[in-house]
Amino acid sequence: MTRSGSDIKVAVDAIVFGYSKQEGVSILLIQRKYPPFKNAWAIPGGFLLPDETLEDAVRRELREETGIEVNYLEQLYTFGAPNRDPRQRIISIAYMALVKSSLFQQLKASTDAENAQWFNFRELPPLAFDHKAILDTAIERIRTKIRYQPIGFELLDKKFPFADLEKLYIALLGRDIDRRNFSKKMLALGILDETNEYAKPEGKGRPSKMYQFNKKRYQQLEREGIHFEI
């Protein structure tokens, strides 16, 4: 016997990447309050309401289950394997976001979530449903995207030493980079403005120049088609 179309529901899921210089890259997860997978960790998400847009649903679920608001969402992929949810046929549209995790330390779990917590992306617990596959897809998207398009400046302070930008890329890529080549390519884009300020040295090192992101120049390059490859 086949399922009818009325048995199909639409859900949204939110993969929120957090970043801090101290902790590196982390993932926002919620602990499920109800079956299926009661007490298991999962990506925040839930069912789309009849009068909602997809992005409105993602933002609502994040508010309800974690207490956070995000400025930017990017649609990732649609996951629709017939048996991905034991309850019934559920199609999930996944979104991802990048935030400074230090701004969201006071998490507030509610509705379907028993708890909300940041996890280092290298030390994740077992995940409910097909959320491991969803998360792997998001990580691959981030790592591919930052190789050809400079992203993630909202994860840094307004003014930052170049070393902080290098650390961000190393953390998101999960590997080391050729720092000299990276510096040459990034500075050649013209999206970093030197300031007259210097960062306090760590230990006995010399003070480092501080930079700030030139958003106007970046948007111009986006329109023209950025050529950038790490």
Q: What is the pLDDT of residue 223?
A: 87
Distance of CA 86 to the CA centre of its chain: 27
Q: What is the pLDDT of residue 6?
A: 63
CATH code given to domain 5-139: 3.90.79.10
Please give the model's pTM, rounded to 2 decimal places: 0.89
Q: What is the pLDDT of residue 203?
A: 66
Q: What is the pLDDT of residue 38?
A: 96
**Mean pLDDT per 10-residue segment, the chain (230 residues):** 67 96 93 96 97 97 96 94 95 96 92 95 95 97 88 88 94 92 93 92 80 92 81
Q: Give, in degrees to the nearest 5, the angle at Cα 91 between 88 and 93.
A: 150
116 — phi, psi (to 5°)? -135, 140
Orientation angle between helical segments 179-188 and 162-173, nearest 10 degrees: 110
DSSP class per residue in 175-218: S---HHHHHHHHHHTT-EEEEEEEEPPSTTPPPEEEEEE-HHHH
H-helix or E-strand spanning residue 92: strand 90-100
Q: For domain 149-224, give its CATH number from 3.40.630.30, 1.10.10.10, 3.10.450.50, 3.20.20.70.
A: 1.10.10.10
Quick check: do 5-139 and 149-224 share a fold?
A: no
Beta-carbon contacts of 69 under 8 Å, excluding residues fewer than 6 positions away, are 59, 62, 63
Q: What is the pLDDT of residue 205?
A: 72
Q: Where in the chain are the domains? A: 5-139, 149-224
Q: What is the pLDDT of residue 2?
A: 47
Q: What is the pLDDT of residue 151?
A: 80
